[in-house]
Amino acid sequence: MKYLWVIACMMGCMYAALGQQLAMHTEHLLSGRAQGTTYSIKYYADVAVSKQDVDSIIAEIDSSMSLYHANSIISRFNAGRLADADLDSHIKNVLDASFSMNKLSNGYFDITVLPLSQVWGFGPDGSPKNLEQQCMDSIRAFVGMDKLRWDGEVLQKLDPRITIDLNGIAQGYTVDVLADYLEQRGIAHYLVELGGEIRTKGHKPSGSFVVAVNRPPGMQNGDAHWVKLSDCAITTSGSYENQRCIDGTMISHHMDPFTGKPLASSTVSVTVIAKTAMEADGLDNFFMYLKPAEAISYAEGLKDVDIYLVYLDGNTYKELQTKGFKKYLY
C-alpha cells in the first residue's frame, strides 16, 4: 500500500508540473464563419496562429470542394468543365477516403447522391422537385460510385450526367487539415471545431477537453452526455438535424443510394469517436444506415472507433454504445 501511495504521489506531482508548464503557455481563441456554419479553435502555446491563416486554409479547401462556389473544382467537374489534371491535393485526399468508405460501407456511403438530394429538396436551392417514381428511376440510373473511375490521380465519369457531393466527409477533412496545420506550428494542445465536428490533441491546463454530445429534442432525460477527449476526434450525425416536410411527412437529408429515397431507419443519431475527424465524419453517415445493434457490432470490430447512438423503438427513444465509449464519459 505504501508503494502504491508513493507511485500515486509521484504521478500527482508529474501531472501538477505538467499543468504548471502548460499554464505558462498563452491560451488562444479563434472563431469565425465557414462552410455555411461556424468554427472555433482553442489552443495553448507560445506561438500564435492568425485568423487570416485559418480563413485562408478554409478558403483554399472551399475552392476545391464547395458546391456553393460556381468555379470550385467540384462544381467544374459536375458541370463537365474540368480537365482530368486539374484536381488538387485536397480533393484527391477526400476522394481516396470516399472510395475507401464506399467499399467499407458496402456502397451506402456514396458521393454521387447529389441528384437525389436535389430532387428531395436538400440541394443548394433547397426546394423539392419532381418526386414521381418515373423521375426517381431515371435519376437512379446515374447514381452509384461504380459509375466513376478513380486511380488516385484522375476521376472519370462513365456517364456525363453524374455529379458528386463530398459534404459527407469534407467538413471532417477540413478539421483535420486545420489540426495538422497547428501541429506543424509546434502546437501540441488544441481543440478544433467546425460545424460541431471536433478534433483534439493534448489537454487544457485544468485537464482534458470536455465536450457535449447532444441528445435528440424531446428525449426523456435528454441532458447532453459530456465526454472527455484527447488525441481523437468526435462527430455526430442525426436525422433530426436537416429535415423537410413533404406531404405531411418529415424526411431526412440522408439519401439511400439503392432506393433513391430518404433513408428509412430507426436510428435517430450516431456519435462517432475516431482518430481523425474525416474518419468519424464518414462513419457517422454509414452507421445511420445500419440497424442499431448492427452498428454497435460493426464499430466494435474497428480499431480506435467507438460510438454512441440513439434510436426509436416504437415511440420511445433508446440508447446503445460500444464498450469503449464508456471510458470517454465525463
Q: Helix or strand or coil: residue 131?
A: coil
Using CA atoms of 94, 98, 101, 102 in order, give the dihedral in degrees to the nearest 10: 180
pTM for the model stands at 0.86
* Stretch (H or E) spanning 21: helix 2-23
Kindly report the three-state secondary structure assignment for every residue of 221-289.
CCCCEEEEECCEEEEEEECCCCEEEECCEEEECCECCCCCCECCCCEEEEEEEECCHHHHHHHHHHHHH
Residue with cell 487570416: 52
| Type of residue found at 108 | Y
> CA-to-CA distance for 123 and 126, rounded, in angstroms?
5
> CA-to-CA distance for 271 and 299, rounded, in angstroms?
11
| Type of residue found at 105 | S
> CA-to-CA distance for 76 and 54, rounded, in angstroms?
25
Exposed, middle or buried, 79 (CB in 10 Å: 0-12/13-18/19+)?
exposed
Closest CA to 231 of 275, 272, 194: 275
Tens digits of pLDDT across the chain (330 residues): 333 322 233 234 344 444 445 554 789 999 999 998 999 999 999 999 999 999 999 999 999 999 989 999 999 999 988 765 579 999 999 999 999 999 999 999 999 999 888 777 766 555 555 555 556 667 878 899 999 999 999 999 999 999 999 998 999 999 999 999 999 999 999 999 999 999 999 999 988 899 998 777 667 666 678 999 999 999 998 755 554 444 444 456 678 888 877 877 788 889 999 999 999 999 998 998 899 999 999 999 999 999 999 998 888 889 999 999 999 998
Provide the H-helix boundaries in 212-326. Answer: 277-289, 292-300
* pLDDT tens track for 252-287: 667 888 887 787 778 888 999 999 999 999 999 899
Greatest Cα pair distance in the chain = 77
Residue 75 CB: number of other CB atoms within 10 A?
18
Q: Which three cell numbers stand for residue 120?
A: 428531395
Residue 214 CB: number of other CB atoms within 10 A?
16
> CA-to-CA distance for 216 and 232, rounded, in angstroms?
24
Q: Which residues pair with 28 in a beta bridge?
A: 43
Q: Which residues pair with 225 in a beta bridge?
A: 213
> CA-to-CA distance for 147 and 162, rounded, in angstroms?
8
Cβ distance 58 to 34 under 8 Å?
Answer: yes
Show the domains of the chain with their CATH numbers.
208-330 (3.10.520.10)
> CA-to-CA distance for 266 and 264, rounded, in angstroms?
7
* pLDDT tens track for 272-329: 999 999 999 999 989 988 999 999 999 999 999 999 999 988 888 899 999 999 999 9
Rg of the chain on CA atoms, in Å: 22
Rounded (10°) angle between helices 51-65 and 89-104 = 60
